[in-house]
Amino acid sequence: MLAGRVLMGAGAMFSAAASALAVSLVAPALRGRALSITFLGMSISYAVGVPVGAWLGFEYGWRVPVWLSAGASLAMLVAASWLVPSNMASAGASFAGFGAAARQGAVLRTWLRTLLYFIAIFSVFAYIGPVLQALNAMSSTQLSITLAVFGLAGVVGTLSGGWANDRFGSLPTMRVQMSVLVTMMAVLPFTRGHLYATMATLVVWGIAGFGMMAPQQSRLASLAPAQAPLLLSLNGSMLYVGTALGAVISGSLLGQLHLSQLGWVGVPFGLLALLTLAFEPAHVRPVMAAPAGSP
Q: Which residue has the higher pLDDT, 43 or 286?
A: 43
Q: What is the mean pLDDT of residues 170-180?
A: 93
- How many CA atoms lie less than 13 Å away from 102 in the CB half-sphere? 14
Give counts: helices (H), strands (E), the chain. 14, 0
pLDDT at 292: 40
- Cβ atoms of 179 and 234 within 8 Å: the answer is no
| Ordered DSSP codes for 65-96 | HHHHHHHHHHHHHHHHHHHS-TT---TT-S-T
pLDDT at 80: 79
pLDDT by residue (tens digit) across 50-60? 667 777 877 78
Express as a percent the part of the chain with pLDDT over 70.
80
pLDDT at 46: 66
pLDDT at 105: 83
Q: How far apart are CA 64 and CA 80, in angstroms?
A: 24
Q: What is the mean pLDDT of residues 32-44?
A: 72
Judge if pTM exceeds 0.75. Answer: yes
Using CA atoms in the order 120, 121, 123, 128, what is the torsion angle rounded to 10 degrees? 160
- Cβ atoms of 234 and 246 within 8 Å: the answer is no
For residue 273, pLDDT over 90 is answered with yes
The count of other CB atoms within 10 Å of the CB of residue 102 is 17
Give CA separation, 142 vs 7, 42, 80, 151, 228, in Å: 30, 23, 38, 14, 42
* Reported CATH class of domain 104-281: mainly alpha
- Cβ atoms of 30 and 214 within 8 Å: the answer is no
The count of other CB atoms within 10 Å of the CB of residue 92 is 26
Locate all alpha helices (DSSP H) within 84-194, ordered by sequence: 98-102, 105-125, 128-135, 140-168, 170-187
- Cβ atoms of 131 and 192 within 8 Å: the answer is no
The count of other CB atoms within 10 Å of the CB of residue 246 is 27
Q: What is the DSSP letter of 194?
A: -
- For the chain, what are the domain ranges? 104-281
pLDDT at 16: 62
Q: Which residue has the higher pLDDT, 233 or 210?
A: 210
Q: Specify the DSSP element, H or E, that contains 287.
A: none
Q: How far apart are CA 272 and CA 242, in angstroms?
A: 13
- Which of 36, 46, 48, 39 has the alpha carbon at shortest distance from 11? 39
Q: How far is CA 52 from the centre of its chain?
A: 21
